[in-house]
Chain A
Amino acid sequence: MKLRNYAVLGLFVLVGCSGEPVNRTTGVYMLLDTSGTYADEIGKAQQIISYTLAQLEPGDSFALARIDTGSFSEKDIVAKVSLDTRPSTSNAQKRQFLARVQEFVESVRPSPYTDITGGLLQALEYLDEKDPGTKTILIFSDLKEDLKEGYVRDIDARFDNVRVVALNVTKLRSDNIDPRQYLDRLDAWRQRVEQSGGTWRVINDLDNLEKLLRT
């Protein structure tokens, strides 16, 4: 009887010490630009996807979506996974995810327009729904938005507690002529994210991906 009382007391102490449960999961949404010549860079994107998958732990979420003419759509999500809490199942899910990505890479077609904002809105929606402890949006694009006529993307989206990482932001031919265009483009995206409560980072050196999911 005494032993049971002590056990219950110990349990209460443990639960009491734990306090508010901390959400330690990570949610990653990756936007993949498939417009024009950027579709040729998809091999590098695969490298980033593999790295991200290797970094994710059981319980984390990962979604890969393409950026095309109208990216604010679930149809643009190529693959998504919420890793199981059991490590073995989680590993199997990672392998399945990678297989789906491979299928996508083999069948991808370049899109005529680039709707980055729509993709970001979709990413925010996905991450809000999953509600992980750390939210990260990876944008694999040259960040040159090219909207089809009639598409409205002048929307004030909130990036509170969201890390936005722009990857492999290639320089366009026009950027080479006037580098200010490239710098202004980057700065405009940075301001947009940071003014909406998010954090912004650019990683162009893909051999140095350690900071990809690190705050």
Chain B
Amino acid sequence: MMLGELFVIGDSPVFSVLIWGALFITFLYLSRAPARRLILSLSRLGYQALRLGAAATVQAGKRLEARNREVLLASGREAKERIIEREFERIGATVERDLSRYPEIQRTLAESIQRIEDDHQQTSDVPPEVPGWTKAVEAIAKVPAKADPSVRQVLEAIHGAVRKAQQQSLRAYRESSRERHRLLSRMMPEWRRIQNTLGEMLKAVTSLLERSRSIDRHMLEYRDIVQGTDRALTSLSASALVTFAISALVIGVAVGGAVINFSLIARPMAEMVGGTSYIGSFQTADIAALVIIMVEISMGLFLMESLRITRLFPVIAALPDRLRVRMIWITLTILTLLASVEAGLAYMRELLLQDELATTALLRGEDVAALAGETMWITTAAQMGMGFILPFALTFVAIPLESFIHSIRTVIGMLFAGILRTLAVTMRVLGNVIQQIGRFLVNLYDLVIFAPLWVELKWRQAIARRRQEDPPESGSYAANYGEVSL
């Protein structure tokens, strides 16, 4: 007997369906109130749970945002402090270089001014006047009593003496004028010297003013950061995102360089460590090449740290200067040695490649001599050059790496905050959807049992009509206990 046959009543399946349907609807009608409560409580439960979840997520998001804010402000503050510190160092250098010579410059200026003053004083001495009695001489010369020989002789003697005196005075005047001109021309270099000195001073002062303006600007931004203003936060967030993108790009380029470097040294490394040994599933030669590149990058990091260009390791930055300089030389020496090793390996790579090509050609029965070209040295030299330069180029990856590490904290924080916000919104929406689904199910339930509900409604209306027409007497069941509600 099939299971379905158990539910067949009589011979007609339609009759069975009708009977079972009627029974089912009756069951649903009778259990309407608890079913409604169940559906509504379940939907409310889902709604409340999701609301609580959303509230908790929002709280977590707020905490994360606060933490991000702190991290961002702290990193911004640190960066700004470094910039201001650097500006002050530059001002210090300018003051030390230019303004420390101020007493000397002042003395030079004073001496120059003194010399000019002296020269000026000397030029102000009154020159001997040109004799004013020229007219008298002319007047004597025009005296009519020239006919008298004695008078004439006297007058001529006077005229001669006067002329002589006039010439002497003129010579003295010219001498004096020449001396004044000489003194004045001697003042010119002094003026120029003063002008140059003042120009230098002006340049130094202008530089200081520019630096001070820059410091003012940085100080304003620093104050904003310390106060935690929205403007500072927006600026720092944008800056962190830009820094992250740029540093990621540069690191990507550096990775490309490292890959090329790896391919340059991996093959010849097999000559040193053997081509058949493996560590795990990786060839030892590949791992050795990778280790060399990693050591180079590490040396580059230490070099940059020692030069105080980056500040990833506070221990190195805090080292005494002498030790730091020693570290610079050590890392630079190791880097140079590694670069030389790489250049050698690159050369060996070319030799191996040629050897392999020759062997392959021999195995194919081709002419081996045809492979040797005159321009082979170019590729060899290029490979060697790359092998030597790339380690030093990789040194500079420390700078974008530092920026990347600093900015990634902010970027990840922002990312997680965004995810939490989205999650909270999704949970709220889901909660509302569940609530609406509960209501929808209740309505659907009523729709399924619309027939008994309609009968109930009609019955209630009939009772209500009857009550209006014939109010219940005191003591009747309905008057005492009210209507029976299903």
Residues of chain A at the chain B interface (Cβ within 8 Å)? 14-15, 17-19, 21-22, 24-25, 50-51, 53-54, 57-59, 85-88, 90-91, 94-95, 98
Contacts and interface: CB of A to CB of B under 8 A. Distances in A.
B276 A85 contact: yes
B275 A59 contact: yes
Contacts, number: 63
Contacts of B271: 86-88
Nearest first, the 3 closest Cβ-Cβ pairs linking A and B are: A59-B276, A85-B274, A58-B275
A86 B275 contact: yes
B330 to A, nearest CB: 15
Contact of B363 (A18, A25, A53, A85): A53
Interface of B: 267, 270-271, 274-281, 351-352, 355-356, 358-360, 362-365
Contacts of B278: 18, 21-22, 24
A58 B274 contact: yes
Given A50-B365, A54-B360, A85 B355 contact: no
A58 B362 CA distance: 18
Given A86-B270, A87-B352, A94-B359, A50 B275 contact: no
A50 B274 CA distance: 24
Given A14-B280, A58-B275, A88-B352, A50 B364 contact: yes
15 contacts: A17-B280, A18-B278, A18-B279, A21-B278, A50-B363, A53-B363, A54-B360, A59-B275, A85-B274, A86-B275, A87-B267, A87-B352, A88-B351, A91-B356, A95-B359
B280 A85 contact: no
Given A85-B277, A94-B363, 5 more contacts: A58-B276, A85-B274, A87-B356, A91-B355, A98-B362
A50 B267 CA distance: 23
B364 A87 contact: no
A191 B364 CA distance: 35
B300 to A, nearest CB: 18
Contacts of B355: 87-88, 91
Contacts of A95: 359, 362
B363 A58 contact: no
A95 B358 CA distance: 10
A85 B275 contact: yes
B267 A14 contact: no
B274 A98 contact: no
